[in-house]
Structure 1
Amino acid sequence: MKYAITCARILVGVLFIVSGLIKLNDPLGFSFKLEEYFSPAVLDLPFLEPYALALALFVVVLEVILGVTLLLGFRIQLTLWTLLATIAFFTFLTFYSAYFNKVTDCGCFGDAVKLTPWQSFGKDVILLVLILFLLAGKKHIRPLGTPGFRLWATLVALVACIWFGNHVLNHLPVVDFRPYAVGKSIPEGMVVPEDAPKPVYEYRWKFRVDGKEEIMTTLGDYPEVKGEFIGLEGTREIQAGYEPPIHDFTMEFDGQDLAPFLLQRKNLLMVVAYDLAKSNAEAFAELSRVTDTALARGYAVVGLSASSKAATTALKDTFNLHFPFYFTDMTALKTIVRSNPGVLRLEQGNIRQKLHYNDLEELELPPLDDEARFDLPLKRALDSVLELDQKYRAEMDFESWRKQVALDSANLRTIDSIMAIYGYPGKTLVGVPANLAAWYVIQHSNRIDEFLPQIRIAAETGELPYRLYAMMLDRSLMGQDKPQRYGTQGMSYFTGTPEEVSLIWPIEDPENVNARREQAGFSQTVEAYGKDLFGPEFEYRPYTLEEALEIRAKQNP
């Protein structure tokens, strides 16, 4: 009996210490789990959500201290009854989660060991039995050392837990068990192997056989039943398929996921702020300085947040932030970094550094030369394309124009092959002004509509000035006899009158076009642009589409 009690004592004590220390390494993560339990969909205790972090710290420190006092044999009566109350509460939670399928991971061992709800419940039942066994045989528990030693050892453990918890809250977890740890690759974490197990579903089919309704169950195949098919009663997943470590990471702009393009960047600084309303506002003043330095050294900088576009725009204006924000799921952002805001430095999707906002001075921004920043052979090829694109364009004679048409055709074939391999060759890949080469070639071609989606992605990810996408979009819309968006396209028509008719092609929502132009990066209003295009006497008039089409129809052949 004595040996059995000793084994149970060591097992329970070590498990409580290990479980508590793993969660104490990441108390913020455990607080997120408690918020999930407190949510209306689970226990419906939303009034406890503001206290989730404080409760998380109390619970994990209590776990460690109970494990320590059990091993020491300190205040054993109080320790055992507190252990019993604690494990009874945890057993209820894990049973509730498993039975009602409310919380798929109890967080018992943080992100270090993932248990299913029923595994968590089974673990707690075993601990409950062991603690009851210890209570029954408590007379066999022999204290270690003197009473003074046990008291001081407990106090030292308590102080160490408080210090450690405070340290990781103000910095980052000492050990990162998540798929976004330093050294991990985000793109690789999203890959599903070809031989990965697929989910298995149970299908319930309803038939009428001999006048009676019957339910047939299969794993997907249509049942061979001699009867009248009524309908599919429902499906149920009976075996989960493979889920990659990273399965909810996106970087969205206007509903389009740009993560595959942004994660290709050689040197990327990622600012993560899952909820701007809960962010440390003072940190953004320092972040503005840090990100400006990164941009000046050639790094690409992006922000990720689950907050609204209005909130991110206001933040950028307040703290003079010179980088775009993309939308990412809040749960994913909380998982990436336990800091709001936090900073990651990546190389083509590989995480090289991760920092709490209190440690921004530790950010490493190695100087980048052209060889480290750009694909130099591709850059030289695009520099040549850019030069050839303008070689004869300024000449007015027929022979020069014929030569330019031949060069345009050759350039378009080159851009075709480059974009098939790299996508749009933008600023991060080839620098400035080589990033403009593909745009010029496409703008001078008859294939604008084909390439426009890739031009949009390049503009929205900062690889190309947005105003160039705006110009190409306007040209595409005008070519389809639709109103343009930014007022960049103008035409002159000879209609048989003494003078030609010059006009800015009709604009969608003309009252707000100048606001759109400013947002897109144009420095002129549409009125000033019209004078530059057609001369100082030109006065802008917002033609309707019907009027413009009528004027064009009158043009002399």
Structure 2
Amino acid sequence: MKYLVGISRIFVGILFIISGFIKLNDPVGFSFKLEEYFSYGVLNLPLFEPHALKIAIVVVIFEVLLGVLLILGFKVRFTVWSLLLMIIGFTFLTFYSAYFNKVTDCGCFGDALKLTPWQSFYKDIFLLFLIVFLFVGIKYIKPLFGSGFNRIITGLSIFGCIAFVYYVLNHLPAIDFRPYKIGANIEEGMSVPDDAPKAIFDYAWKFKVNGEEKVIVTRGDYPTVDGDFIDVETTEVQAGYEPPIHDFTIEKDGDDYTSQFLQEPKLVMVIAYDLGKSNYEAFNEVKTVTDDAIKKGYKVIGMSASGEDFTLKLIKEYKLNFDFYFTDQTTLKTIVRSNPGVLVLEKGTIIQKVHYNDLDEIQLQ
């Protein structure tokens, strides 16, 4: 029992630290996931949506801290009770997501590891089992060090988490796990290999034959039946390959400019997923950077999900010398965790990506 508790303690502690650190690296991304949970149609808690980022930061720091405390064997009763309550909450959310198909990715490991809703739920069930086991064998969880040293490590852990989250909020995630990281080519990310697995569907065809309902299942072919067609139900048996980038478009007035702009040898993208929530002071420096880019032969475009009224007002107020194009808001949130943020591309390959606080770091040829 002692050794089993020890193994479980280290495993759970490390997993909570890793999971927490990945989300701590990208708290803005985790806050977007919380907004999904709080929205109408999911948990219907819109009151919490404006506070999603603050909640995200507190949750991930607490998650890392619990992992550290468990490994140290410090404040054991508080730690195990907190782990139990947290995993019960996580298990409820993942079950809700899986059963009702509300949130297709729980964000447990950020963009580093994508899990389906049911995979997330089974993972939480396994963790729940281990944490209950730790609760039962709590007397075997002994401190690794003395009380004073444990306090120092705990304090340093809290300070380190706060310092790290402050850095990534004011710049960009230290590690970029998304398909739009520096060095990635957007067109390549959108391509589907010739040998990629195809989606497989079962088609349940309903007919009325001699006054009775008959169901015939095929993989797509219309069955030859001497009867009257009633209905058909489609069930996905095997998911097909989905490219890392599958929702990227650049549109204006109903026209698609995606391919055209991704062939530009020198392109600057100014991305603001929601101009109603942008840092407007940053557009003064955006104006300076983009004017310089235009002088050096770059094509400059804005990308936003906001309406034309917003974009025209912004262009007029800050005297911007480029037009805005429409791109899906979720896509823009994924591309850069800054509102606004700026990317520099060469024929679809991302060369630079910066937060609005780091616009002075952009280097133009």
Structure 2 match to 1:359: 358
* Alpha-carbon distance in structure 2 between the residues aligned to 1:293 and 1:220: 56
Paired residues, what number?
A: 365
Structure 1 match to 2:326: 327
Give the letter for the 2:150 counterpart.
Answer: R
* Alpha-carbon distance in structure 2 between the residues aligned to 1:149 and 1:320: 57
- In angstroms, what is the RMSD of aligned CA positions? 1.0
- For residues 107-147 of structure 1, give each alpha carbon's deviation from its aligned partner in whole angstroms, at most 9, with x where no partner exists: 00000001111110111000000000001111111101110
* Alpha-carbon distance in structure 2 between the residues aligned to 1:269 and 1:157: 39
* Alpha-carbon distance in structure 1 between the residues aligned to 2:219 and 2:122: 29
- For residues 165-193 of structure 1, give each alpha carbon's deviation from its aligned partner in whole angstroms, at most 9, with x where no partner exists: 11100100000000000000011001011
What pairs up with 1:307-386 in 2 under 5 angstroms?
307-366=306-365
* Alpha-carbon distance in structure 1 between the residues aligned to 2:260 and 2:119: 39
* Alpha-carbon distance in structure 2 between the residues aligned to 1:169 and 1:255: 35
Structure 2 match to 1:377: none
Structure 2 match to 1:469: none
Structure 1 match to 2:280: 281
Give the letter for the 2:190 counterpart.
Answer: M
Answer yes or no: is 1:298 the counterpart of 2:297. yes
Most deviating of 210-219 and 259-268: 210-219
Give the letter for the 2:296 counterpart.
Answer: R
- For residues 362-411 of structure 1, give each alpha carbon's deviation from its aligned partner in whole angstroms, at most 9, with x where no partner exists: 01112xxxxxxxxxxxxxxxxxxxxxxxxxxxxxxxxxxxxxxxxxxxxx
* Alpha-carbon distance in structure 2 between the residues aligned to 1:218 and 1:73: 58
SS of the residue corresponding to residue 118 of structure 1 reads helix
Structure 2 match to 1:74: 74
Gaps of 5+ in 1: 367-557
* Alpha-carbon distance in structure 1 between the residues aligned to 2:307 and 2:207: 49
Offset of 1:68 from its aligned partner? Answer: 0.2
Structure 1 match to 2:245: 246
SS of the residue corresponding to residue 20 of structure 1 reads helix
Structure 1 match to 2:181: 181
What pairs up with 1:469-488 in 2 under 5 angstroms?
none
Answer yes or no: is 1:219 the counterpart of 2:233. no
Structure 1 match to 2:198: 198
Give the letter for the 1:313 counterpart.
Answer: L
| TM-score, length-scaled by structure 1 | 0.65
Work out which of the two has the higher radius of gyration on C-alpha atoms and give 1 or 2: 1
Answer yes or no: is 1:121 the counterpart of 2:108. no
* Alpha-carbon distance in structure 2 between the residues aligned to 1:224 and 1:312: 56
The answer on whether the counterparts of 1:96 and 1:102 sit within 8 Å (CA) in structure 2 is yes
SS of the residue corresponding to residue 61 of structure 2 reads helix
Offset of 1:232 from its aligned partner? Answer: 2.5
The answer on whether the counterparts of 1:105 and 1:117 sit within 8 Å (CA) in structure 2 is yes
Identity of aligned residues (%): 60
| TM-score, length-scaled by structure 2 | 0.98
Give the letter for the 2:110 counterpart.
Answer: G
Structure 2 match to 1:64: 64
Answer yes or no: is 1:100 the counterpart of 2:100. yes
Offset of 1:238 from its aligned partner? Answer: 2.4
The answer on whether the counterparts of 2:210 and 2:227 sit within 8 Å (CA) in structure 1 is no
* Alpha-carbon distance in structure 1 between the residues aligned to 2:231 and 2:194: 30
Answer yes or no: is 1:25 the counterpart of 2:25. yes
SS of the residue corresponding to residue 132 of structure 1 reads helix
* Alpha-carbon distance in structure 2 between the residues aligned to 1:11 and 1:223: 53
Structure 1 match to 2:264: 265
Structure 2 match to 1:144: 144
* Alpha-carbon distance in structure 2 between the residues aligned to 1:56 and 1:12: 21
Offset of 1:31 from its aligned partner? Answer: 0.4
The answer on whether the counterparts of 1:343 and 1:355 sit within 8 Å (CA) in structure 2 is yes
- For residues 420-476 of structure 1, give each alpha carbon's deviation from its aligned partner in whole angstroms, at most 9, with x where no partner exists: xxxxxxxxxxxxxxxxxxxxxxxxxxxxxxxxxxxxxxxxxxxxxxxxxxxxxxxxx
* Alpha-carbon distance in structure 2 between the residues aligned to 1:43 and 1:221: 40
Most deviating of 182-191 and 34-43: 34-43
Offset of 1:2 from its aligned partner? Answer: 1.0
* Alpha-carbon distance in structure 2 between the residues aligned to 1:74 and 1:224: 70
* Structure 1 moving runs of 4+ over 6 Å: none
Offset of 1:221 from its aligned partner? Answer: 2.2
Higher relative contact order, chain-length normalized (CA < 8 Å, sep 6+): 2
Give the letter for the 1:37 counterpart.
Answer: Y
Offset of 1:233 from its aligned partner? Answer: 3.0
* Alpha-carbon distance in structure 1 between the residues aligned to 2:126 and 2:337: 32
The answer on whether the counterparts of 2:208 and 2:230 sit within 8 Å (CA) in structure 1 is no
Offset of 1:51 from its aligned partner? Answer: 0.8
Give the letter for the 2:248 counterpart.
Answer: F
The answer on whether the counterparts of 1:203 and 1:232 sit within 8 Å (CA) in structure 2 is no
Give the letter for the 2:357 counterpart.
Answer: N
Offset of 1:231 from its aligned partner? Answer: 2.6
